[in-house]
With several copies, the nearest count.
Chain A
Amino acid sequence: MNSFQLEVNIMQIKVLYFARIKEAVNYSSEDVDLPEDIETITALKHWLSKRGEVWANLFSGKLVVRAAINHNLVDDLATFEDGDEVAFFPPVTGG
């Protein structure tokens, strides 16, 4: 019973990084297991920033970090669900 609850309450998402953020974290993609209360971009940024100095610097708010959920640009209050793809990147500079 206890172990069944644990499985339900862990959410797995895929997280992608682009441009200078990818270079800072040194990889482009990872699968992340999250506690169930981490379901907004803001919460995810806060949670990731506890990983260490590089992460804290990235998500400190000094530089703008944009996010997409399942390939849609979103603001930081957007929520994601188990299995979603979340991406972090700097403001875009195409064109």
Chain B
Amino acid sequence: MIRVQTDDFDMAQVLDDLRKHNPKVGAIVSFVGLVRDINDSAEVTTLTLEHYPEMTQKALQAIVDQAKQRWDIIDAVVIHRVGTLLPTDQIVLVAISSAHRQAAFSACEFVMDYLKTQAPFWKKETNSQGARWVEAKASDDEAQARWTQ
């Protein structure tokens, strides 16, 4: 399941859905990304996420499909929020279910690394000094490149 939404998400509901309908599931690895109150510069007051709606779903699905080809996973959920968020708000959830834990760990980290570098989302922070677009990080490109070596 892939969803892009302004509303918050209920992690417990997602995990219950992943485990309760399939007794083959032995492991669920999940990642939640949150708005931090401090970034490179001053204290963040809001974070606004823009995206490219027609492309986002397709890009996320392509990433999940790659993960399913690479690892023996059972199901994958990606939920990404857009719009204006506050510190400690949830931004993104990636949850992967599998029979054994290593596939779920690898696939979850893979999906996050690709999402960070391939999915069309852009963050704009506001703080007391004004608004600025968040810069992409070289460390995210390096994290993604690990999977192709």
Chain A contacts to B: CB under 8 angstroms: 16, 18-20, 64, 68, 71-73, 85, 87, 89-95
Supply 12 further A-B pairs (C-beta < 8 A) apart from A73-B59, A92-B121, A93-B135.
A19-B122, A71-B52, A89-B52, A89-B120, A90-B133, A93-B121, A93-B122, A93-B123, A94-B121, A94-B122, A95-B115, A95-B119
Inter-chain CA distance A79–B84, complex, in Å, is 35
Total A-B Cβ pairs within 8 A = 74
B59 touches A18 (CB 8 A): no
B52 touches A18 (CB 8 A): yes
Q: Please name all residues of chain B whose beta carbon is closer than 8 Å to the beta carbon of A73 when the two chains form the complex.
A: 59, 118, 120
B91: Cβ under 8 A from any A Cβ:
yes
Secondary structure of the B contact surface, majority rule: mixed
B92 touches A95 (CB 8 A): yes
Find residues 95-127 in chain B having any chain A CB closer than 8 Å to their own CB.
112, 115-124
B50: Cβ under 8 A from any A Cβ:
yes
9 cross-chain pairs, A with B, having the tightest CB-CB distances, nearest first:
A94-B121, A91-B136, A19-B122, A71-B55, A95-B116, A93-B134, A93-B123, A20-B133, A95-B115
B16: Cβ under 8 A from any A Cβ:
no
B122 touches A68 (CB 8 A): no
Q: Please name all residues of chain B whose beta carbon is closer than 8 Å to the beta carbon of A91 when the two chains form the complex.
A: 117, 136
Chain A proximity of B123: nearest CB distance (Å): 5
Inter-chain CA distance A85–B120, complex, in Å, is 15
Inter-chain CA distance A20–B33, complex, in Å, is 23
Q: Please name all residues of chain B whose beta carbon is closer than 8 Å to the beta carbon of A94 when the two chains form the complex.
A: 49, 51, 80, 91-92, 115-116, 119-123
11 residue pairs of the A-B complex, CB under 8 angstroms, read A18-B52, A19-B133, A68-B55, A71-B52, A71-B59, A72-B55, A90-B136, A92-B116, A92-B117, A92-B136, A94-B123
